[in-house]
Structure 1
Amino acid sequence: MSDTVYIKMDRSVEVTHEKVTIGDIAKIESKNKNIVNNIKPIKILADKPELGNRYVISIMKIIEIIDEKFQNVDISNIGETDCIVEFKKSNTSCKPLEILKTGIICILLFFGAGFSIMSFNNDVSIDQMFLQISGQISEDTVGGAKILELTYAIGLAVGITVFYNHFGPKKITKDPTPIETEMRKYENEINDALVDGHNREDGKLDLK
């Protein structure tokens, strides 16, 4: 009687070691735990920096390797048909340097966003608009305009915070932020392009 082995691959994985096994890129399950323990350590990929740091592995290659090593095993794929393996170096960077880089990026974003907002306000002549609104409501146009400017600044800050779902390092809700959503779309497009390139024999894969 044959044993059924369930394989679930993710769309992409990151590894920090040079040799990749089936257990690194896929989740393996079976009632026969001995088969699972023997499948996971099988080496399927070795990093070669001169060829790049991304590789595409097809589920068909994994099935082929398992069929060569085991008899009477039925394989059922319940995940992705292609997995993109990306080699990354261990995070051994200098902590102060990372803090400095983050600070520089925050400063650039702060002044860049401030310049954009000021340019927009200048184009719509918001100062004149505040004076007109305060003039229609009260006789003190200058004081009314200052109140409107203050509430506008507070509302702008609150709106940005709510929109980006972040206040400092903490998220307001568990929902993904617009930046996270766009980054996931970008990653999916990159992964699709890599898989398409591999299927057209443009991919790089060095097995065993």
Structure 2
Amino acid sequence: MSEIVYIRMKQKINASKNQSLCLSDVAYISAPSTWKETLESMKLYTIQGSDRNIVIMDVFRVIYYLRDVFPDLEVQPIGPNQSIVMIQRSKKNPSILLVIVIWLLLFIGAAMAIINFHFDVSMEAVQQRIHFLLTGKEVKHPLWLEIPYSIGLGLGMILFFNHLFKKRINEEPSPLEIEMHKYQQDLDQYVVFHENELSKGLNNHDDTSS
């Protein structure tokens, strides 16, 4: 009677150039103790210099390797069908000048968006009207309304994004983080659906060799 091994592919992992990927790197393994250590150390793939930024490890390819080496094992896949391997390249230190330029562009763009919004809704006229209704006097700049409003606008943005610089205010994700998470999920699905040319070439090689 063949022994059963359960594997669950990891959603995404990071790897470096020339790194050898073992089964334990790309999948969680549930197997008898006599097999687990051997399976975990089994090498599946080595990151090549010709690889781009992403390599897809498909569960069917993993099962093919396992059955080829251990024909007496019964492999049962659970969960995701692919593991996305993100190849980490050596990163250069960002240019201070480039950071300053990008920061200025974002700051000016955000300021213009806020100013244009307030101009469209006639915020200045609204505050002047509120001041007139409450005091009976016409003032061009009701500072007692404008200053608290400006402070509240900044505090509201901090609470909305749930961050003060790098410090998180509470454990709830911000709307921006949720949208980034959705974008990353869509990006991962796209990458899995459109595997890179290397993964396709390896699959074709497996098919022809079998």
| TM-score band w.r.t. shorter chain | 0.7 to 0.9
Instruction: Identify the range of structure 1 (76-85 vs 127-136) with the bigger mean alpha-carbon deviation.
Output: 76-85
Work out which of the residue numbers 152, 170, 185 in structure 2 matches 1:155.
152
Q: CA RMSD in A?
A: 2.6
Q: Which has the higher contact order (CA 8 A, sep 6+)?
A: 1
Match for residue 131 of structure 1?
A: 128
Q: Write the distance in 1 (CA, Å) between the matches of 2:118 and 2:139.
A: 18
Match of 1:23, SS?
Answer: helix
Q: Secondary structure at the match of 1:48?
A: coil
Shift of 1:193: 1.4
Task: Measure how far apart 1:49 and its partner are.
Answer: 4.1
Counterpart among 97, 107, 111 of residue 108 in structure 2: 111
Separation in structure 2 between the aligned mates of residue 81 and residue 69 of structure 1, nearest angstrom: 21
Aligned to 1:134, what secondary structure does the other structure show?
Answer: helix
Select 1:204's aligned residue among 172, 195, 198: 198
Q: Equivalent pairs: percent with the same residue?
A: 26
Say if 1:138 and 1:144, in contact at 8 Å, map to a contact too: no
**In the alignment, structure 1 residue 62 sits paired with structure 2 residue 62:** yes
SS of 1:119 mapped into structure 2: helix
1:56 offset after TM fit, Å?
Answer: 1.6
C-alpha displacement at 1:77, in angstroms? 2.0
| TM-score of the pair, normalised by structure 1 | 0.83
**CA-CA distance at 1:143 after TM superposition:** 8.3
Letter in 1 for 2:47: D
Gaps of 5+ in 1: none
Partner of 1:76: 76
What's 2:169 paired with? 172
| Displacement after TM superposition at 1:10 (Å) | 2.1
Inter-CA distance 106–137: structure 2 relative to 1 (3 Å threshold) = same
Is structure 2 residue 12 aligned with structure 1 residue 12? yes
Q: Deviations over 1:25-81 (max 9, x none)?
A: 11222232x422212222222333435221222111111111121243222222211
Compared CA separation, residues 173 and 100, structure 1 to 2 (3 A): farther
Deviations 1:160-207 (A, max 9, x none): 111111112111111222222122211211221122223xxx653248
Structure 1 residue 22: Cα displacement? 1.7
Counterpart residue number, 2:28: 27
Bigger CA drift: 66-75 or 154-163?
A: 66-75
How many residue pairs match? The answer is 201
Partner of 1:37: 37
TM-score, normalising length from structure 2? 0.82
Deviation string 1:67-107 (CA, Å, 9 cap, x unpaired) is: 1212432222222111221211255x43xx47765555444
- Give the whole-Å Cα distance in 2 for the aligned partners of 1:69 and 1:173: 49
Q: Distance in 2 between matches of 1:67 and 1:106?
A: 54
Task: Tell me whether 115-124 or 8-17 shows the greater mean CA deviation.
Answer: 8-17
Cα distance, 1:132 vs structure 2: 0.9
Q: Aligned partners of 1:21 and 1:99: how far apart in 2?
A: 39
SS of 2:83's partner is strand
For structure 2, the residue ranges without an aligned partner over 5 or more in a row are none
1:6 alignment partner AA: Y
Post-superposition Cα deviations, 1:86-145, rounded to whole Å, max 9, x if no partner, equal 211255x43xx4776555544432222111101111222211111111000003443872
Q: Is the 1:55–1:203 Cα contact (8 Å) retained in structure 2?
A: no
Partners of 1:56 and 1:203 within 8 A in 2: no
